[in-house]
Structure formats: structure tokens, C-alpha cells
Amino acid sequence: MRFVYGEPALRIREKNKNYIVIGDLHIGAEKRFFKRGVKVYDASAVMAQRIKKIAKENNATALAILGDVKESVLHPDSAERREIERFFDELSDYEVLLVRGNHDPFLEDIIDLKISDELFVGDFALIHGHVWPSEEAMEKRWILAGHNHMAVRIKDKGKGIYFEKAWLVSKLSYANARKRYPKINRNAEMVVFPAFNDLIMGMAVNENIDENLSPIFRNKVFDYKNGTLFGLRGEVIGTPKSLSKKGAPPISR
């Protein structure tokens, strides 16, 4: 397993095959900006080209997407539907594995690909993160999840404040996990992805530590607050707990 430097993407390897794993594409999210008077063009095409570049650089022939392919929660409008179709046409040379997210009802009506609630690649369980993982997933060494759109708030030397995407790596809380799962991997860790779409930042952990958490974190099966946050360039940022203390300033950089 390896983070792709500078990108919200992960490479995993199984049986001599490299997979690029990403999450939360939210194709059609540019509508949010259009309503505010900001026009964004070809966002899905740009994402497809980025993925192809990442795959080529990492010698990957397969792509796994951890859910929330589309922005609409139910039926997409015609423009969003066209963008989804065009996006997957661009990636037709790759084996594409899809996990169902909470934004993905009716996605099967648009693309001719199997969509699974969970996927398993070697010792990796691939989930979206909005519902409880299965027992089979909890027996894997690594659980890869999207949904939470991990990000942190940064304060630079010029006193400007901005946001950056982040990874969260969280260890299992064995006693809490055993309350729900009879069989678990004691060494299991969860990796929570930032959103791949550049238009989607998410709620910074140092603004609201409990915002939009999945049930596995709300029930403390994995230790969210003491997990390690990494920037996209591999730097250690801290933990949600250390960044969310009352009155704590933004991270200085």
C-alpha cells in the first residue's frame, strides 16, 4: 500500500496487479458553484485525465472507486448523466471496481458496471463508510473508506487561512469492536480518504471533529480522535483530537 504523492489516491498491489484506489468523485458537483455564479467546465474530464496519469505513473491497470460517483442523491439530471457516461468512457481501458456510496442510487441505470456494497482485494476491504462494514471486512488487515472527505484548516505565515485535503489512518479499538463483531483482525486499521474531486473539500477536523462521521467512528470501533492525519505530500499533521481542542488555532505553515 502506498499513498500517491500529491494526490488523494492510493496504490495497492495484489497478485502482481496494481490498483489505484480513489473515493468521492461527486460528478456533477459543479452545479453547486453554478448556483453561486461560478462556472466550472469539464470537471469530470479533468478527473478522468488525472486518473489516467496516476495509473500510468504507477503501472496500474485497475481502478477502484470507494463510492459517491455522482453528486445527485437520487436520479441525476441529463447533464450529470452525460458527464458520468463520458467519464467512464474515458476509463474504458481499465478494469473498474465500484463500491456503492450514499449518493449512488440508480447509478446502475447509467453505466454498465457492477456496483458492490463492499469489495475485497487481498487483505484490503474497500467500503464507502456510511454504513457498518461486514464481518468479512472486519477480518481484513486494512479497511479503505471514503465518505468523510478528510481535510484540515491551515493558517499560513501571511495569516491567510485555507483548507487542505488529508488522509486519516485509525487503529482498531478492540474492546469496542468485539461488542459488534465476533471475528475481527486485531491489527486492523482504517484508512479514510480525502475526496478525489478538487471541488469537494469537506469539513475540516479542526472545525468540527464530529461532523458527518460514519457509524463505525461514532461507535468508536476505530479510534477516530487519535488517528494520524497525513497531508497529500506525506507530512504528519496531527490527530483529530489534537487539532480540535477548544480554542485551538488553525495549523500554522
How distant is the alpha carbon of residue 218 from its chain centre?
18
Nearest to 152 by CA among 196, 214, 191, 194: 194
Summarize the confidence of residues 95-103 as an average pLDDT: 97
Q: What is the pLDDT of residue 246?
A: 46
Q: What is the pLDDT of residue 247?
A: 40
Q: What is the pLDDT of residue 96?
A: 97
Summarize the confidence of residues 14-25 as an average pLDDT: 96
Which triple of cell numbers denotes residue 135?
Answer: 464481518
Q: What is the pLDDT of residue 211?
A: 60
Summarize the confidence of residues 217-230 as an average pLDDT: 93
Confidence of residue 154 (pLDDT cuts 50, 70, 90): confident
- Average pLDDT of the residues of the chain: 90
Q: What is the pLDDT of residue 207?
A: 73
Q: CATH number for the domain including 209?
A: 3.60.21
Query: Considering the entire predicted model, what is its pTM?
Result: 0.92
List the helix and strand counts (H, then E) for the chain: 7, 15
**206, HSE (Cβ side, Cα atoms, 13 Å):** 24
Domain that holds residue 67: 2-252
Total domains in the fold of the chain: 1
